[in-house]
Structure 1
Amino acid sequence: MKESVSYAPSRADFTGSPAVAASSASDGPSVKSLVAVTLGNGLEIYDFAVYSFFSVIIGHLFFPASNDYVSLLLAVATFGVGFIMRPLGSMVLGNYADRHGRKAAMTLIMGLMSLGVLMVAFAPTYKDVGIFAPIVLIAGRLLQGFSAGGEVGAATTWLMEAGGHSRRGVRVSWQMTSQGGAALLGAAMGAGLSHLLSDQQLYDWGWRVPFIFGLLIMPVGLYIRRQLPETHSTTAASTVANPALTLWREHRRALVLGILLVMKGTTTFYIIVYYMPAYMVNTLHMPASISYWISLTAALLTLLIPFWGGRLADRLPKRKPILIGCAIVSFLLIWPIFATILYGVPLGYTIALIAVDQILANISAVAMFLLVLETFPKAVRACGMAMVYAVGVSLFGGFAQFNVTWLLKVTNAPMAPAWYLMFCSVVSLAALVAWRERHHDE
């Protein structure tokens, strides 16, 4: 049954900050609760950023080899194993969230995530314990990937359910805002330590500092999560025996289309934010200092724009028009973005185009979360959101850099990343057109 969304402006609607809006809204959770709920997803992105920054050092310490390239490749592959565990985590922890409650699941997930970060932060090096060093590191990454698989489903579902309909877009926007803030914090931490410490200090202990910092924050998030109100009844009448199986039997179409819907957004994020600097330096031979401005722009916009995307979604009764409009304009921007880089157009034009694309990406991300959450019934909502996001990110985001690198090697065409993103855009747009928008708000 479709709902009719009405929107009554409040004092929060005239503020320019998600924090102020959240605290002003009378039908939603406090800022402290919002931060605690989105902390897990933010720390996962933070961990990605700092691991990527120190991947060369980690490769040398845990995977010593005569060839530096082999060490780096093994270090990057170790990080990638976390993506393998996401789909499994989404099914197991998504089931748990739908059967035992969102709060219980988020508390469990934060505990598992803390253990995974602990193993990475204090893993002994190859010089100390030999082959056991990479085993501990890989085990920590596997546990982090498993917990991350259920994090978005449980946390985003709680955000949607934790208040009235008129503010749900703003609440859900915190999930994306946390990613932007975490990416900026991770990059700042890596850059700051590299500037303040010597190479020897970074190898001896400096690379561990960002992970320990993240670990110290987690107990605060764990404590606050345990105090949250529950948004989902766990009585027999409100739950199903196996949400993952129910999803496949009764909501298979939405599940598959949702995974394809994630394809464009996650591929763009991992290529623009994390792959673009390497592409500009290695393929186009541009200075690294210039290339990082692109990642900085993307991360900053991911911090600032989702709130406004949430407000827009709250004002409109349907999500598909927002998503279709953003998808078409974003598709048209892909070729110009890479063409300006390739043909030596001043960097300011490239950054401006990427800024527009990232604004659209963040607006559509909030609408996409709402579209998926509102389609699944409450009894399977957390598991459905978790599986859509985890499988989509693992298949398309986790392998985006590998796929683009392979295409560049095979085709020897500098525009290969643009072609790849255009293909992903077409697939996601087709899934969006086929999507049957509906609202389950029971």
Structure 2
Amino acid sequence: MSEATLHQRNDATSANGSSNGLSPAMVRRAIFASVLGNGLEWFDFLIYGYFAKIIAQVFFPGGNGFVSIMLTLATFAVGFIVRPIGGVLLGIYADRAGRRKALSLLIISMAASTLLMGLTPGYAHIGIAAPLLVVLARLLQGLSVGGQFATASAMLVEYAPPHKKMFYGSFNMSAQAFALLLSSGVGYLLTTQLTHEQLVSWGWRLPFLFGALAGPFGFYIRHRVAESPEFERLLDHKDKPPRVTIRQFFHDNGDAAICAMGVIIVGAATNYVWHSYLSVYVERQLHLPLSTALLGAFVSGLLNLFLFPLSGKLADRYGAYRLFYPIVIAWMICVYPLYYFVVTNPTPGHLFIAQLIATVFLAAMSGSHPGMLATLFPVRSRSAGVALSYNIAVTLFGGMAPLTITGLTRVTGSSLTPAFYLIFAGFVSLAMVYFTRSGREPRGTAARPATH
């Protein structure tokens, strides 16, 4: 039986609720377990971005504040540079050993790297070892989370009925919204209740220590989740998942990988610019207090808990690719006026309005991303395919965004640099999707099942 026939059989049997023998409780547990690690990943990343200025003081002291913050943002970017490597390795492991085992491994390794970040003494205590340990923590986290989004997305989509792939996948994005809600709420409380000296001394460490505590809990939950039905059927069809070589992967999935990167780029850039980089932008360019940005981020996270699933539902109903093009184009048209609105009169009220508008666009663009990516690749190489394309796109246009924009803003002196960056990301996304076979074939359909 070919993989195409197997994939069609998977869809057909998924439509029958009793075909996989899973109870509703098991499905809910799988959804919760899949999104927990993604939420932990984003919680850590967002907290690092929010407290970048303080982390610069603790680990990268120096007479030049710009140099310190650039070193901090470079360390932030380091975690992303190794993500494609970790993503491919862990994606291959997930495609060989199963989604369940991979997700259990990921939650423990992420918790360990987060704990190292929270416990590392400052530069004043251990000298150069302090920034080196921070870089090590970011490297470990980057390697582990490289496979997190991909494997969790694969798990969710493979649990989903055939006409709810985008909706089930959207819960992976809701995990990011919950992380935004939690991290901004914690950040707001810390910045408003503690003095600057307390924050620098110990306050910034609390969120990282809190994030590390989620590791054992997440491992327990994931350990009790059954393997995904589609992966189980692949195992039933073969003694073990077929070994896919790198050459064969790119031959079979190269076009799909380019399309997947295009899907992700504009959403990743928007997400990191408006959430991770926003704290630096608000303080250095707009000269507003950090608490102002955190309040807007908290409300944005709350809204996205509901907007991401709504976006997934609409993608299932009207077609994910049919919605992709007009939403991205509309965002590209609106992003410059939105930044101009804030920059010309940088008040907390203007910033809050801009954050809410950006949140709606982000949800519309990104809610269906996990489902879109997962359905581009066949079961046998799904985790590796999503991991490779997702991590390359996020590294180049997401993780590198704070460093890139800070440097460009310094060179150009323009506070509107983030707007031009997002418009450029939008053009790249549209081109990569439009000019690939994978991006053309599903136009007007809810999803394109991988058939190779």
Question: Same-fold call, TM > 0.5?
Answer: yes
1:195 equivalent to 2:192? Answer: yes
RMSD: 2.9
- Further displaced range: 213-222 or 289-298: 289-298
Match of 2:281 among 264, 267, 279: 279
- Further displaced range: 190-199 or 290-299: 290-299
- For 2:109 and 2:351, locate their aligned partners in 1 and report how far apart those are by CA, in whole Å: 40
Residue 360 of structure 2 aligns with which residue? 359
1:125 equivalent to 2:126? Answer: no
- For 1:57 and 1:327, locate their aligned partners in 2 and report how far apart those are by CA, in whole Å: 35
Could you tell me how far 1:153 is from its partner in structure 2?
0.7
1:144 equivalent to 2:141? Answer: yes
Residue 21 of structure 1 aligns with which residue? none
Instruction: Provide closer, same or farther for how the CA distance between residues 424 and 192 of structure 1 changes in structure 2, counting only shifts above 3 A.
Output: same
- For 2:200 and 2:287, locate their aligned partners in 1 and report how far apart those are by CA, in whole Å: 27
Could you tell me how far 1:259 is from its partner in structure 2?
1.4
Q: How does 1:417-432 map to 2 (within 5 A)?
A: 417-432=418-433
Instruction: Provide closer, same or farther for how the CA distance between residues 322 and 362 of structure 1 changes in structure 2, counting only shifts above 3 A.
Output: same
Q: Greater relative contact order (Cα 8 A, min sep 6): structure 1 or 2?
A: 2
Q: How does 1:26-41 map to 2 (within 5 A)?
A: 29-41=26-38
Contact 2:286 2:346 in 1 (8 A): no
Amino acid at match of 2:284: N
Instruction: Give the gaps of 5 or more residues in structure 2.
Output: 13-21, 443-447
- For 1:160 and 1:313, locate their aligned partners in 2 and report how far apart those are by CA, in whole Å: 14
Give aligned pairs, total.
Answer: 423
Q: How does 1:235-314 map to 2 (within 5 A)?
A: 235=235, 236=238, 239-242=241-244, 244-286=246-288, 290-314=292-316
Contact 2:73 2:403 in 1 (8 A): no
- For 1:71 and 1:201, locate their aligned partners in 2 and report how far apart those are by CA, in whole Å: 20
Q: How does 1:1-150 map to 2 (within 5 A)?
A: 29-150=26-147
Residue 178 of structure 2 aligns with which residue? 181
Contact 2:111 2:213 in 1 (8 A): no
Contact 1:98 1:382 in 2 (8 A): yes
Instruction: Provide closer, same or farther for how the CA distance between residues 285 and 203 of structure 1 changes in structure 2, counting only shifts above 3 A.
Output: closer
CA deviations 1:233-277 (Å, max 9, x no partner) are: 364566232365432121111112321321111111111223345
CA deviations 1:142-172 (Å, max 9, x no partner) are: 1111111100111110000113223332221
Amino acid at match of 1:91: V
Structure 2 counterpart SS, 1:33: helix
Instruction: Provide closer, same or farther for how the CA distance between residues 358 and 207 of structure 1 changes in structure 2, counting only shifts above 3 A.
Output: closer
CA deviations 1:283-326 (Å, max 9, x no partner) are: 3445655555543443333222111112222323x321021221
Instruction: Provide closer, same or farther for how the CA distance between residues 297 and 40 of structure 1 changes in structure 2, counting only shifts above 3 A.
Output: same
Residue 388 of structure 1 aligns with which residue? 389
- For 1:288 and 1:197, locate their aligned partners in 2 and report how far apart those are by CA, in whole Å: 13
- For 1:45 and 1:330, locate their aligned partners in 2 and report how far apart those are by CA, in whole Å: 23
- The TM-score with structure 2 as length reference comes to 0.84
Structure 2 counterpart SS, 1:241: coil
Percent sequence identity is 32
Amino acid at match of 1:333: C
Instruction: Provide closer, same or farther for how the CA distance between residues 144 and 346 of structure 1 changes in structure 2, counting only shifts above 3 A.
Output: closer
Contact 1:176 1:365 in 2 (8 A): yes
Structure 1 counterpart SS, 2:367: helix
Residue 326 of structure 1 aligns with which residue? 327
Residue 15 of structure 1 aligns with which residue? none
1:411 equivalent to 2:412? Answer: yes
Match of 1:157 among 143, 149, 154: 154
- For 1:290 and 1:244, locate their aligned partners in 2 and report how far apart those are by CA, in whole Å: 47
Amino acid at match of 1:334: V
- Further displaced range: 52-61 or 205-214: 52-61
- For 1:351 and 1:205, locate their aligned partners in 2 and report how far apart those are by CA, in whole Å: 29
Structure 2 counterpart SS, 1:124: coil
- For 2:410 and 2:292, locate their aligned partners in 1 and report how far apart those are by CA, in whole Å: 24
- For 1:183 and 1:35, locate their aligned partners in 2 and report how far apart those are by CA, in whole Å: 17
Could you tell me how far 1:342 is from its partner in structure 2?
3.3
Contact 1:302 1:358 in 2 (8 A): yes
Match of 1:225 among 217, 222, 226: 222
Residue 19 of structure 2 aligns with which residue? none
- The TM-score with structure 1 as length reference comes to 0.86
Contact 1:246 1:380 in 2 (8 A): no
- Further displaced range: 366-375 or 386-395: 366-375
- For 1:266 and 1:225, locate their aligned partners in 2 and report how far apart those are by CA, in whole Å: 27
Contact 1:91 1:244 in 2 (8 A): no
Contact 2:181 2:299 in 1 (8 A): no
- For 2:116 and 2:396, locate their aligned partners in 1 and report how far apart those are by CA, in whole Å: 25
Structure 2 counterpart SS, 1:305: helix
Contact 1:42 1:178 in 2 (8 A): yes
Instruction: Provide closer, same or farther for how the CA distance between residues 336 and 128 of structure 1 changes in structure 2, counting only shifts above 3 A.
Output: closer
Instruction: Give the gaps of 5 or more residues in structure 1.
Output: 7-24
Instruction: Provide closer, same or farther for how the CA distance between residues 246 and 68 of structure 1 changes in structure 2, counting only shifts above 3 A.
Output: same
Instruction: Provide closer, same or farther for how the CA distance between residues 28 and 310 of structure 1 changes in structure 2, counting only shifts above 3 A.
Output: farther
Instruction: Provide closer, same or farther for how the CA distance between residues 279 and 214 of structure 1 changes in structure 2, counting only shifts above 3 A.
Output: closer
